[in-house]
Amino acid sequence: MHEQDYVLNQTQAAQGEVSRVLRNTYGLLALTLAFSGVMAYVAQQMNVRHMNVFVLLIGFYGLFFLTTKLRNSAWGLVSTFALTGFMGFTLGPILNRYLGMSGGAEVVTAAFAMTALVFCGLSAYVLTTRKDMSFLSGFITAGFFVLLGAVLVSLFFQISGLQLAISAGFVLFSSACILFQTSAIIHGGERNYIMATISLYVSIYNLFVSLLQLFGIMGSDD
């Protein structure tokens, strides 16, 4: 009897922890997305030019590793907003580029709507079915290196259709990451809501930018 009570208490404690992480993750994610949107708007109004790729990588990975290091302290929240604000700021010139195109407003709106639909749909699927998506870890690892190689090739060679393939690949990759991260939260693989938040944020960011590129290419007259 005591063993059954102990198991029941452990199960309830685990479920309570999952609920807490989910609540904190989605709450912080909503705040960081809103802050990121504000920073994107600021960059738009300032007409900021596209950031140098090396500055972008140094800024992103520097803030990402800083957030990872501070994830168990209150300073982790500060670095989380610094990271997402920085990424939002980099969206400004990207949005200005598409908004300056013919039909660009429709492209941005479609990408935004599709991103919201994909994220909400995938999250709801995992939360409802509670399926374990840990099997996607191998696909995500392989996908990362394939996409990295494709991006490097695109920097040195102009191959027809490669950019379209890269964008489509990032859509699939980001979708898999959303499934994997959400599953990790509800199955105990992720107990730090700061890390869960930035993982989901990066996936949403990549998904949005990739859909922008896809819709932009498909809507181009070139």
**73-97 residue pLDDT tens:** 999 999 999 999 999 999 999 999 9
Q: What's the distance, CA 210 to chain centroid?
A: 11
| pLDDT tens, position by position, 30-65 | 999 999 999 999 999 998 888 887 888 899 999 999
Whether the CB-CB separation of 130 and 22 falls below 8 Å is answered with no
182 token code pair? 């959400």
pLDDT at 160 over 80: no
| pLDDT tens, position by position, 107-127 | 999 999 999 999 999 999 999
Give the mean pLDDT of 135-143: 91
Of all residues in the chain, the percent with pLDDT exceeding 70 is: 91
**12/18 Cα distance (integer angstroms):** 10
50 token code pair? 């596209």
Q: How many helices (H) and strands (E) does the chain have?
A: 7, 0
Give the mean pLDDT of 176-198: 90
Average model confidence (pLDDT) across the chain:
87
> Looking at residue 31, what is its pLDDT?
96
Give the mean pLDDT of 145-174: 86
Task: Tell me the range of 23-37, 97-111, 180-194 where mean pLDDT is highest.
Answer: 23-37
pLDDT at 205 over 80: yes
**128/201 Cα distance (integer angstroms):** 21
Burial class (CB in 10 A: 0-12, 13-18, 19+), 29: buried
Helices 193-218 and 53-69, packing angle to 10 deg? 160
pLDDT at 135 over 50: yes
Instruction: Give the pTM.
Output: 0.89
